[in-house]
Structure 1
Amino acid sequence: MNTNRILLFAGGSLGQWAIRQIQPGDWLVGVDRGALFLVQHGFSPRLSIGDFDSVSVEEQAEIERKSQTISSCDPVMKDLTDTEMALTWALEQKPAQIILVGALGSRFDHSLANVQLLQKALAAGISCRIVDEHNEIQLMNRSLTIERSHFAHVSLLPLSPEVTGITLHGFQYPLEDATLRIGDTLGISNVLTSDTGTISIGSGLLLVIQSRD
């Protein structure tokens, strides 16, 4: 393992809240316009990656000057999104944790695709979550402990067609060996009643979304 945490800054919604996610020792990866955000805030990304079709020629030159490494590709002749390319690189570094920042935004197709990318990290056995100003999203397939935070609501949504054996402890609305299927809303807007809550499931893939208004 080369580093404890890798933060991927994608080109979705970003702001000062995103800067506050950075801790000493983190490896920073700029993904397309997310790289511009980092360099314009005084950071030198370990890697800036993408087709850079969302920045100007002058902005791309700035990214190239201020990044430690550049990985660019043709915007047409590619099969993966910039964020998937960045996540693939991050998984190869085998960190303890990957955090996707700027992975949600106005493009719902990209936002949904980025949520589904969590499955790649889960399959690799690496902790991964998406964070923005109002949400923190994780994917689980066995058990998960979450902590009380400024994200007051906790929602559970199946990513697989069915999730079975859902059991909650430390929540206002407990569940015991419950099943959720795609389209069910039973898991929306729960609340922690303890400093920590535990979620366990028997089978399937379950999205755990902590959020605030």
Structure 2
Amino acid sequence: MPQRIWIFGGGDLEAWALEELVRDDRLVGADRGAWFLVSNGYRPELSIGDFDSVTAEEAALIRENSASYADCDAVDKDKTDLELALDWAIAERPAEIVVVGATGTRFDHTLANVQLLRKASEAGIPCRIVDARNEIRLARGGERTLVRKGPYHYVSLLPLAGEVRGITLTGFRYPLNDATLPVGSTLGVSNELLGESGVVESASGDLLVISSRLDRPSADARP
């Protein structure tokens, strides 16, 4: 399997976040995401952040149980902990970056993390954000994006910023052909795949592809 880097942020994390991991995956913990890994018996390749969301005892255990530890000043920095982790991951040039713990109660952080998908895309690295019920990716203009059904029920398409033009959908219940989606339109919400996969194409603009499930499997089930 091509090498992946998983970034664990400080948002909502439970057992589901560990289900897809395989032996060769490389693990990065951002702030409290590092504590989640360490407390579940994993050794992050890198733990990075200001660690203002953990106790001093937890921070010491993170340092002790991480291959590399980067402690940043909580005030004198211009990036969130998760962006710092993403920058490191991009520099490593993996086949894919998967981000968990990027969504949660802080909507500002959630929105900022979704916007970080553009940074990975501009570097030419596939990146997706996964939480308990959603998978979020970015489809860029001029590209052909394959969307697999997997455990998800709906696929929504939303412009990241500005207008997305020339959208053509293949394999969807509600097809589009050379359509335009402006910011603020709900036309792309709650589409469905007819089979196991579909294709999203667009001529210009950045389009969020959000796959959503209605529920989560049991703790022992795999997606």
Q: Normalized against structure 2, the TM-score is what?
A: 0.93
Q: Distance in 2 between matches of 1:28 and 1:74?
A: 22
Shift of residue 140, structure 1, vs aligned partner:
1.2
Do residues 180 (structure 1) and 181 (structure 2) align? Answer: yes
1:202 matched residue in structure 2 = 203
Measured in 2, the distance between the counterparts of 1:20 and 1:150 equals: 13
Residue in structure 1 matched with residue 154 of structure 2 by the alignment: 153
Could you give the per-residue CA deviations for residues 95-126 of structure 1, whole angstroms, max 9, x where no partner exists?
01000010001000000000000000010000
- 2:220 counterpart residue number: none
**Aligned counterparts of 2:110 and 2:20: Cα–Cα separation in 1:** 19
Distance in 1 separating the partners of 2:144 and 2:158 = 15
Paired residue for 2:14? 15
Give how far 1:21 is off. Answer: 2.3
1:48 & 1:21 partners in 2: Cα distance?
Answer: 20
Provide Cα deviations, 1:156-212, integer angstroms capped at 9, x if missing partner.
000121000000011100000000000000000000001110000000000000002
Find out whether 1:128 has 2:127 as its counterpart: yes
Match of 1:41 in 2: 40
Instruction: Tell me which amino acid in the other structure corresponds to 1:206.
Output: L
| Corresponding residue number in structure 1 for 2:217 | none
Report the CA distance between 1:46 and its aligned residue: 0.2
Asked whether the 8 Å contact 2:164–2:202 carries over to 1, the reply is: yes
How far 1:22 sits from its partner (Å)?
1.1
Say yes or no: does 1:30 pair with 2:23: no
Aligned to 1:98: 97
- SS across alignment from 1:167: strand
Matched with 2:165 is 164
Equivalent residue number for residue 136 of structure 2: 137
Whole-Å separation in 1 of the counterparts to 2:200 and 2:146: 6
Distance 2:119 2:29 in 1: 19
The question of whether the paired residues in 1 share the 8 Å contact of 2:139 and 2:200 is answered with no
Separation (CA, whole Å) in 1 of partners of 2:12 and 2:22:
20
Residue of structure 2 equivalent to 1:81: 80
Please give the root-mean-square deviation of Cα atoms over the aligned residues, in Å.
0.7
Runs of at least 5 residues in structure 1 that lack an aligned partner in the other structure: none
Aligned to 1:119: 118
1:69-91, CA deviations, whole angstroms, 9 ceiling, x for partnerless residues? 00111101111000000000000
AA paired with 1:116? Q
Q: Identity of counterpart residues, as a percentage?
A: 55
Shift of 1:149: 1.3
Offset of residue 130 of structure 1: 0.1
Q: Deviations over 1:3-61 (max 9, x none)?
A: 71000000000001001121110000011000000000000000000000000000000
